[in-house]
Structure 1
Amino acid sequence: MLLGTAPAHAAGYRYWSFWQGSGGQWAYATQGPGTARPGDGDVIGFRFAVSADSADAAKPRAAAGFGPVCDGTPAADGAKRVAVVLDFGTPADAPDGETPPKARSACARVGEDATAGEALAAVAKPLRYDSSALLCAIGGYPRTGCGEQVSGAEKGAESASPKPAADGGKKGDGGPSAGLIGGVAAVVALGAAAFWQARRRRG
C-alpha cells in the first residue's frame, strides 16, 4: 500500500479511514471498527483524507506505537488499554472553509471486550453520524459533509455520482475501489456500534 495521500485534484471520496498497528507499521484494517476487537497494548488509527481507493489511502502520519501514547495510563483489572491515533489530514483534503485540527493521540482504557469503535468513542467525542449511522466526524471535524465524492475538476465539489455502497470491501476482491468501500463500510459499522452502545446505556 502506498504511503502518499491522494492529490487534492484527484477524484475520490473524503472520509475517515480506519487503520491498525502491526509491527510498528500501519495496516489498512480488514474489519470495521464496530467488529474489530483490539487487545491490550494494540494501536488503532483514523485518518481523514480524500482517497480514490486503498492503493492511495493516506495512513496516519504518527508512528503506530503503543508506548508513547499509553505508558502514562496504568493497567486495570477487567480493562484493556488501546492507543488511539487521530490524524485530521492536510489543508488540501479539508472541506472548503475548514482547517484540520492538529493530529493527536489518546489512550483509551475500556472493557476487555470493547471494540475499536468503543475505544474511539471513549477518547474522541464529539462524534457525528448521518441518518444511515455513517461516521462523519471525529472530535467535531469536519463540521459538515459526510463521505462526499470530490470531483476531479474542483476540490470540494460534490459529484452527482452515488456514494460507494457499504456492502463490499472484501479482501482480495480485486475491485479498483475495494479499499475505499471497505473504509466506508468500516465507518458504517462504527456508527452502528456507537448507536447500539448508546441505546444500551439508556436502557
Structure 2
Amino acid sequence: MPFAPRTRVARPLLPVVALLLPVLVLFAMVGAAPAQAADGYRYWSFWQRGGDGGGWSYATQGPSSARPADGDMIGFRFAVSEDSNDATRPRGMADFAAVCADTPATDGTKRVAVVIDFGTATDAPDRRTPPTPRTECARVGEDASAGEALAAVAKPLRYNSAALLCAVSGYPETGCGDKVSTSEDAHAAPKGDGGKADGGSGPSAGLIGGLAAVVLLGAAAVWQARRRRV
C-alpha cells in the first residue's frame, strides 16, 4: 500500500514522455544541422545576342575567340554565379538599332553593340554601388574579336595570366574570379525583422514551437483523463 501513490503518479508520465520525445529529437536535429553554402564565383560573364532583338545566350567561346558579325550585340555582366546555368544576364532591352543609331556603316569595318552591366551592390566585392550599366557602339575591323570590340569602348581592361577577363573600364579594381559562398554573399535570402535569412530549408522556430504546444496540450489531456480514471 505505501507504494500505490507512486505508481499512480509515474504511470501517467509515460505517455507524456512518449509525446514529447519526437519534439525533443526534432529540436536536436535542427540545432545540429549545419547551414550548407554553395560555392560560386564573382566574375564577368560574356553573352551574345543577334541583331534581331532575341534573348541573350551565354557565349560558348571567350571574348578573345568569338568573332561577332556586323549588327550583332555582345554583353558583359559582373555578378556572383555558381556556373554558366546560374549566370546573370545583362540588363536592359536596347537593341542594335538603338545602340548604333549614330554610328553609320563604313567599308572595311563592322559595328558591334556592346552592353556593359557592372552588376549591383550585392555583386560588388565591397558592397558599394557599382558604375551605372551602359551601352556602346564599337566600330572595329571586320575580323575583330569580341574582346577587341570591348576594348574599343571600355578601356582599361584587365586580364589574368589565364586570359580570364577580370575588369572592364577598371572595374573592379582588384580580384579576378574570386570564389565566394553564394548562400552568404550575393544570393543571400532577404532578411526578416529578426535578422535571420527567410526561406531556409529547415523547419522554422515558429513551426516547431507550434508542434510543441500541440504536444503539450495533448499531454495535458492525457494527464487529466488518467486522473479522472484514478
Give the RMSD, CA atoms, in angstroms.
Answer: 1.8
Cα deviation code 1:116-172 (max 9, x no counterpart): 11100100001112233322100111111110000246438xxxxxxxxxxxxxxxx
Post-superposition Cα deviations, 1:167-203, rounded to whole Å, max 9, x if no partner, equal: xxxxxxxxxxxxxxxxxxxxxxxxxxxxxxxxxxxxx
Deviation at 1:70, TM superposition (A): 0.3
1:91-130 maps to which residues of 2 (within 5 A)? 91-96=121-126, 98-130=128-160
Matches within 5 A, 1:57-68: 57-63=87-93, 65-68=95-98
After superposition, where does 1:71-86 map in structure 2 within 5 Å? 71-86=101-116
CA distance in 2, matches of 1:87, 1:152: 20
Higher RCO by CA contacts (8 Å cutoff, separation 6 or greater): 1
1:27 is matched with which residue?
57
How far apart, CA to CA, are the structure 2 residues paired with 1:124 and 1:73? 17
Q: Looking at CA atoms only, which structure, 1 or 2, has the larger radius of gyration?
A: 2
Q: Which residue of 1 aligns with 2:219?
A: none
Q: Which residue of 2 aligns with 1:18?
A: 46
Native 8 Å contact 1:98 1:142 kept in 2: no
Instruction: Give 1:92 deviation, angstroms.
Output: 0.6
Q: What letter matches 2:46 in structure 1?
A: F
Segments of structure 1 that go 5 or more residues without pairing to the other structure are 1-8, 157-203
Letter in 2 for 1:107: C
What TM-score, normalized by structure 1, do the two folds share?
0.68
C-alpha contact 1:43 1:64 (8 A) present in aligned 2 = no
Q: Aligned pair count? A: 148
- Cα 1:151–1:129 shift into 2, 3 Å: same
| Whole-Å separation in 2 of the counterparts to 1:125 and 1:113 | 20
Q: Give the TM-score normalised by the residue count of structure 2.
A: 0.60
Aligned to 1:167: none
* Cα contact 2:121–2:127 (8 A) shared by 1: no
Q: Deviation above 3 Å: which 4+ runs of structure 1?
A: none
Paired position in structure 2 for 1:183: none
For 1:57 and 1:38, locate their aligned partners in 2 and report how far apart those are by CA, in whole Å.
Answer: 21
Code of the aligned partner of 1:84: V
Deviation string 1:76-124 (CA, Å, 9 cap, x unpaired) is 1100000000011011111015431000010000000101111001000
CA contact (8 A) 1:21 1:65 kept: no
Identity of aligned residues (%): 70
- Residue 178 of structure 2 corresponds to 148
Rounded to whole Å, the distance in 2 between the matches of 1:79 and 1:20 is 19
- Which AA in structure 2 matches 1:112? E
Give the distance between the partners of 1:126 and 1:95, measured in 2 at CA. Answer: 19
Question: What is the aligned counterpart of 1:139 among 161, 166, 169?
Answer: 169
**Alignment check: 8 A CA contact 1:85 1:105 kept:** yes
